[in-house]
């Protein structure tokens, strides 16, 4: 069953509460976790760019298993980053959806 962003946010916060993250972890440690996940995303992007470069993209054929695996790695890293940011937002008493809305409002009319 597919969950909404709001439902997933609640699940992440519940998980973090179950792990006592809000009482044991600091904002700085949470930031370090986010930074680690951003580094993983960069590494996954670098790999897929290498693959695309070697395969002379754009292509109009099916993805290879290596490409599928690398795309899953990118998806996993992005998910991990969002996960860490939800916890960081909660630690700072803000709502991640509100943060995203503020960011969107700030850039929506830029060119």
Domains, the chain, with CATH or none: 29-107 (1.10.287)
Low-confidence ranges of the chain (pLDDT < 50): none
Cα 49 to Cα 39: distance, rounded to the nearest angstrom: 15
Give the number of C-alpha atoms closer than 13 A to the C-alpha of residue 42, restricted to the C-beta side.
Answer: 6
Please give the pLDDT value at position 8.
Answer: 94
| Full 3-state SS string of 54-109 | HCCCCCCCCCCHHHHHHHHHHHHHHHHHHHHHHHHHHHCCCCHHHHHHHHHHHHCC
Tokens of 68: 């599928």
Please give the pLDDT value at position 18.
Answer: 96
Please give the pLDDT value at position 69.
Answer: 76
pTM here? 0.83
Please give the pLDDT value at position 63.
Answer: 63
Tokens of 23: 């009482």
């Amino acid at each position: 069953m597919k969950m909404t962003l709001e439902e997933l946010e609640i699940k992440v916060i519940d998980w973090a509460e179950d792990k006592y993250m809000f009482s044991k972890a600091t904002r700085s440690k949470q930031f370090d976790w986010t930074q680690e996940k951003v580094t993983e995303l960069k590494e996954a992007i670098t790999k897929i760019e290498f693959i695309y470069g070697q395969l002379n993209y754009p292509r109009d054929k099916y993805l290879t298993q290596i490409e599928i695996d690398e795309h899953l790695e990118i998806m996993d890293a992005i998910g991990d980053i969002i996960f860490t940011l939800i916890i960081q937002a909660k630690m700072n008493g803000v709502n991640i959806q509100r943060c995203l809305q503020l960011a969107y409002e700030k850039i929506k009319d830029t060119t």
